A and B are shown apart, each in its own frame.
Chain A
Amino acid sequence: MLFLKRYLPLVICGFTGVVFGIQYYVPHKASEDLLTFINDWMIIIFGFSMILALASLFHVHYQKIRRRQSGWGFSLIVFIAIIVTVIIGIISQGETVDEKGLTSFGWIYTNMLVPLSGTMFSILAFFIASAAFRAFRARTLDAFLLLFAAIIIMFGRVPAGEYLWSKIWGAEFPLQMGDITEWIMGVLNMAARRGILLGVALGAIATSLKIIFGIERAYLGEKE
């Protein structure tokens, strides 16, 4: 059992990690066929993982309803929404439109999912404005610089800002608002982002190597 639970997954992980690490650099047909074969399996496994995800979702919400935990009514809505959508989706054969126009499934998508998702996202505008008013303070020099850059970007990324700038300095002024925002985005922002990306990439490489060589075993459920 120990072999199946601990050593076999490590062997599979190490072997596939090394093989596909090398595969990337070998453009031979056999190597490409191997990638295609494994990739097909990965797509199939990914499909099955969705069933697992659905089962897990049902389990979590079922437990909430059974124990009458706070907000259990929302879990009930999750159940009803999923079941109704799946039934209507099957009846509509997964089609959102047919020759008559929107199917029932399409109606749910267009008139329920789209506006509900849009509403959820647009609520952010209200909270961002409120949070900016309360929290965006120039308490230190760093915070002031961040605040200053944010104001320039917000000012310069809208036509009204560009319009006002050109009205103040004139359309012939060599430094237009668009140039300033592009410089902040393309130089200051880009340099900081690149640093973060490099750090993340190096971390990902180190973690991948640790997993491939069996040093990092947290994915097997083992503690550090």
Chain B
Amino acid sequence: MRKIANILLNLDRRIIFLLIAAAVLVPLLRPFNLPGISISQPVKGVYDKIESLAPGDVLFISMDFDPTAKPELYPMGISILRHAFSKDLRVICMTLWAPGVGMAEEVMSKVAREYHKEYGKDYAFLGWMPGQLTVIIGLGQDLKKTFPKDFYGNKTDRLQIFENINSLRDIDYMVDLAAGDPGIETWYLYGKEKYGFELGGGCTAVIAPGLYPFLQTGQINGLIGGMRGAAEYETLLNRKDKATVGMDVLSTTHFLIIGLVILSNIFYLITRKGKTVR
């Protein structure tokens, strides 16, 4: 028995890789269509705040992620923009991550087209600027001076959406979709703390646990964590998309890893027991 356990403990990692590949591919090819996802309070916090805004209110979104975080944060961006445009909010978007510019622009223009929104009136994309936290301070001091032109080269002081929007003090809500640093903590420290706007966040699953202290104190009013959070938001909007599809894959891979960990511990206990007896 101990011999078998030893062999299994030293299982060729390529077998584990194959199992993971199967756990990812099978649900993609044959979705299980698992029943509804329960909604967590942190996700509902972001949803409820956007829901409470009136048409014409300003939602500021910073998409601080790069293509590595696309599976988790791209669906969040889509859902939040769908929610905002369906409520006729004015949306201003930017990114603090240079490699994220293309994706942020893609998300913005894709959803805006879907809702027949007019650029410069209903939404605007500021793009990226070097400086990270200094950009946040700049936006808090004077938005149009920090971004004299938007991503497409239009002068911000001539765009209708920026009427009465001079700094971060004038926005009604901000959501930061972040994959790391600079991200939600940076926006809190250099933005919300000084300029007093309401802040919510969306982030990759790996950094979500670290943001719970901010959530509990109300420093951020809500948090969408990982693909699961994105799927919850899609459920709230009653518009299932890529994150919900990804839930099947997440389920199989999580179950596989749980199974592997339990098995490896059983094998480990068997081998250890043998050694103690000897």
Contacts and interface: CB of A to CB of B under 8 A. Distances in A.
A163 B248 CA distance: 12
A84 interface: no
B209 A47 contact: no
B17 A126 contact: yes
B132 interface: yes
B264 A137 contact: yes
Interface in B225-278: 228, 231, 247-248, 250-258, 260-265, 268
A133 B212 contact: no
Nearest to B216: A190
Interface in B157-188: none
A159 B131 contact: no
Contacts of B135: 43
A22 B130 CA distance: 26
Interface stretch (B30-38, B55-63, B87-95): B30-38
Interface residues of A, number: 60
Nearest to A95: B152
Contacts of B145: 36, 40
Contacts of A125: 20, 24, 253
A194 interface: yes
A50 B128 CA distance: 14
A158 B66 contact: no
30 contacts: A32-B141, A36-B141, A36-B142, A40-B138, A42-B134, A43-B146, A109-B102, A113-B67, A115-B67, A117-B67, A117-B68, A129-B19, A129-B20, A129-B253, A129-B257, A130-B16, A134-B264, A136-B264, A136-B265, A137-B264, A147-B265, A155-B254, A159-B247, A159-B251, A160-B32, A162-B37, A163-B35, A185-B212, A193-B212, A193-B213
Question: What 9 pairs between A and B have smallest CB-CB spacing?
Answer: A160-B251, A117-B67, A121-B68, A190-B212, A114-B67, A158-B251, A178-B38, A43-B131, A42-B134
Given A36-B145, A147-B261, 11 more contacts: A114-B70, A129-B16, A129-B253, A134-B264, A155-B254, A159-B247, A159-B251, A160-B34, A160-B254, A178-B40, A186-B216
